[in-house]
Structure formats: structure tokens, C-alpha cells
Amino acid sequence: MQEFMLFIKTTGDHLAHLSPQEQQAHVQKIGNYIGGLMNDGKLVGAQPLEMGGAVVQGNKGSFKDGPFTESKEVIVGYFHIKAASLEEAVAIAKANPIFEDTEATMEIRPIKKMDGIN
């Protein structure tokens, strides 16, 4: 099994446009999705991310702290999964119910394993 990071990107708070009842239904669907991944042994970890944060940009020992880069999309969460191939990771991503309730993008990246790094 190979490991992948699935980065969820939306334009701001993707649940803000949903009513409280719709938000609860969305959370339930995501919980079922996560439960299925856990039962299949595919989930390593998953969490939503806070909207605040910082960007640190460096260039040869010189650093600049600042707000997020100029982009409409922000990373709002991630899934760390195990899959047999990139194709399977894409299928797992496409099954995420976030696409039923909001516009989102999911970036799927294989994790590169390097000797000496956990």
C-alpha cells in the first residue's frame, strides 16, 4: 500500500452557505465516509483546518511572515490515506461527500518515502 495526502480546497468556509440542518447532514455524511475508510483500513488520519494561520516564505536564510498567498482557494482539511495506486486514491477522493454539498477541489499527492525519515 502506498500513502497519499488528499488536500481539500474550497473558497473560504464551505459550510457557511448551508443551513444548520444541512450542516448537520453534511457532517453525518462525512462521518460515514470516514467510518468506511477506517473499516477498510484506508484511513491514516483526517482533520479539518482552522481558517486562520500564517505563511512563512524563505529565501536563503531570509524569511518573510505574512497572510495567506493571494488565492481564492484555501486548504480547509486533509485526509491521509493508504491506497494501492494513484487511481485508487482518486476514486477514494471522488467518493467524498464534500462534492455533494459544496464546490471543492481535492489535490491528491503521493507521499514520498525516504530512508531515515519517519
Say how far apart CA 93 and CA 30 lie, in whole Å: 12
pTM score, two decimals? Answer: 0.82
* Residues 12-62 pLDDT 10s: 777 778 889 988 998 899 999 999 999 999 999 999 888 777 777 777 776
pLDDT, position 103:
86
Sketch out the chain's domains with CATH numbers: 2-110 (3.30.70.1060)
* Residues 63-87 pLDDT 10s: 666 555 556 788 889 999 999 999 9
CB-CB neighbours of 98 under 10 Å = 21
Strand residue runs (E) in the chain:
2-10, 43-48, 55-59, 62-66, 74-83, 105-110
